[in-house]
Amino acid sequence: MVIVSALTFRILHGARDLALALVDVVQHVGHIEDTLRVIGLRPTIADDPASVAFDPWGDPSSVELRRVAFTYGISRTPSESDGDAAPRPPFRAETLRDLTVRIPAGQKVAVVGPSGAGKSTLVALLQRLYDVQDGELLISNHAVAAIRQDDLRAALAVVPQEITLFHRTILENIRFGRPDATEEEIHAAARAANCHDFILSLPDGYGTLVGERGTKLSGGQRQRIGIARAFLKDSPILIPDEATSALDTESELKIQRSLVQRMANRTVIAVAHRLSTVAAFDRILVMQDGRIVEDGIAPDLRRRGGLFARMWRLQAEGLSAAE
């Protein structure tokens, strides 16, 4: 009887925690797709029964796209075996087209480009929130579609622009990156993300409750907690998607440097907004209209006089106009 009661209590307690977590996620995330992603479900994409055994730590974590095409709102391109009867999708402008790039393991790449160029769509495909419709997308030489989703999630640490914070303590929010992390490891990740000092300056330090939707924190503080969480997860591939946009340039630079140092053996694909902070990266990919139009290091791209040089000039003028 005691055992049954204890079990019942644990189940109820577990269910209550799960319900609270779901309410947290739904409140804090808003978008159903993101919600499903956070709670580990996927709306339409399931594991292929023939998924490959993939050890995120076993293979060097290269990323390769070969003539990738993707358009929102249509399903995967019918294969030849579907025959003539396959329905033709309605015409829509391709979001990504003919996207070809190889990012060797360990390289630190910044992806830049005008709004709507397809940068976040590329990040969504890497996480397999959608399947590519044409071409190939490979991680460590495995097609992303053939990797078990648990392995894929372990391989990637994505830091979105809008961090999901739970109404829990700062410590718990960072630990979400790796549930078995020690406090020392959490503090080290927070130091690397340049948020340890501000956390200690709060009356309750790491025990501070972040408030509904993290409202007790500024946008920049929330972003730094998100980065600490990703540092703690320490996946072989780190993908910050405009993850430092709410920070001032100096804090952003500090984090970019720490990212490059801390991620010495990791692959980094960072969607960057502020061009002045991408100098620390090994390589810059410039996207426009769903394609990569320039590829190189910042000084070369500036000299080349193309889109990057134009964006650089505009941002510099914007900065000086604001100062």
Ligand X SMILES: Nc1ncnc2c1ncn2[C@@H]1O[C@H](COP(=O)(O)OP(=O)(O)OP(=O)(O)O)[C@@H](O)[C@H]1O
* Contacting range for ligand X; rule: CB under 6 A; set: 9-17, 19-27, 116-124, 306-314: 116-124
Identity of residue 194:
N
Q: Which of 139, 117, 136 is nearest to 69 (CA)?
A: 136
Nearer to ligand X, 74 or 143 (CB): 74
DSSP letter at 213? G
Nearer to ligand X, 70 or 176 (CB): 70
CB 100 within 8 A of CB 287: no
CB 267 within 8 A of CB 237: yes
CB of 121 to ligand X, least distance (A): 3
User: Would you tell me the crossing angle of helices 219-233 and 249-262 to the nearest 10 degrees?
Assistant: 0
Residue of 95, 133, 194, 244 that binds ligand X (CB under 6 A): 95
Nearer to ligand X, 9 or 72 (CB): 72
Binding mask of the shown chain, residues 21 to 60, with x at each position contacting ligand X by CB under 6 A: ----------------------------------------
CB of 93 to ligand X, least distance (A): 8
Could you give the CA distance from residue 61 to residue 139 in angstroms, rounded to a whole number? 6
Nearer to ligand X, 95 or 173 (CB): 95
CB 246 within 8 A of CB 223: yes
Could you give the CA distance from residue 6 to residue 279 in angstroms, rounded to a whole number? 57
* Contacting range for ligand X; rule: CB under 6 A; set: 4-12, 117-125, 213-221, 307-315: 117-125
CB of 73 to ligand X, least distance (A): 6
Q: Scanning residues 120 to 149, which ones bind ligand X (CB under 6 A)? A: 120-121
CB of 201 to ligand X, least distance (A): 32
Could you give the CA distance from residue 214 to residue 164 in angstroms, rounded to a whole number? 8
DSSP letter at 242? S
**Quick one: tokens of 96?**
């990504």
* Contacting range for ligand X; rule: CB under 6 A; set: 6-14, 114-122, 210-218, 291-299: 114-122
CB of 72 to ligand X, least distance (A): 3
Task: List the 142-143 sheet strands across, edge first.
Answer: 96-103, 63-70, 134-139, 142-143
DSSP letter at 208? -
Q: Is 117 in the site for ligand X (CB under 6 A)?
A: yes
Residue of 39, 72, 207, 319 that binds ligand X (CB under 6 A): 72
* Contacting range for ligand X; rule: CB under 6 A; set: 52-60, 109-117, 203-211, 248-256: 109-117
Could you give the CA distance from residue 172 to residue 228 in angstroms, rounded to a whole number? 12
CB of 120 to ligand X, least distance (A): 3
Within 8 A by CB and 6+ apart from 196, the residues are 187, 190
* Total of residues contacting ligand X (CB under 6 A): 10
Summarize as ranges the residues that interact with ligand X (CB under 6 A).
72, 95, 113, 115-121
